[in-house]
Amino acid sequence: MLVRDEIRDPRLYGITITEVKVDRELAYADIYVSAIEGITRSKEVLEGLESANGFIRKSLSDRIELRTFPKLRFHWDVTPERADRIEQLLAFIHDEEERQKKKK
């Protein structure tokens, strides 16, 4: 993977690219990322990606043949954190239901 293997910026260790959306005109590629530590790392990760933006775009354009290559825009993806929160809430509800059954 380009980000993992070719960029040596410690701000980018442990990130996951969760989604890429390219617009119809191939003008922009919106790249969504997350990290296991959550939103607390979002600022440093997005800064690291912006710092490496030119390198990433050039490396991708060398590998993907397009007449013009889209500009890259990086975004923090909160989906994994929301999913984790939903799982916590469901586990809490399940535990509460179990406690209520035991009381009866």
* Residue 104 maps to a domain: no
pLDDT at residue 23 above 80? Answer: yes
pTM given for the model: 0.80
Q: Structural domain tally of the chain?
A: 1
pLDDT for the residue numbered 101: 83
Phi, psi values for residue 54, rounded to 5°: -60, -45
Mean pLDDT score, 18-32:
96
d(Cα 21, Cα 5) in Å, to the nearest integer?
22
Say which CATH number the domain at 45 has.
Answer: 3.30.300.20
Range of the domain at 28: 2-77
pLDDT tens for 65-96 read: 998 999 999 999 998 888 888 998 999 998 88
Percent of the chain with pLDDT over 70: 99
Q: Does residue 87 fall inside a structural domain?
A: no
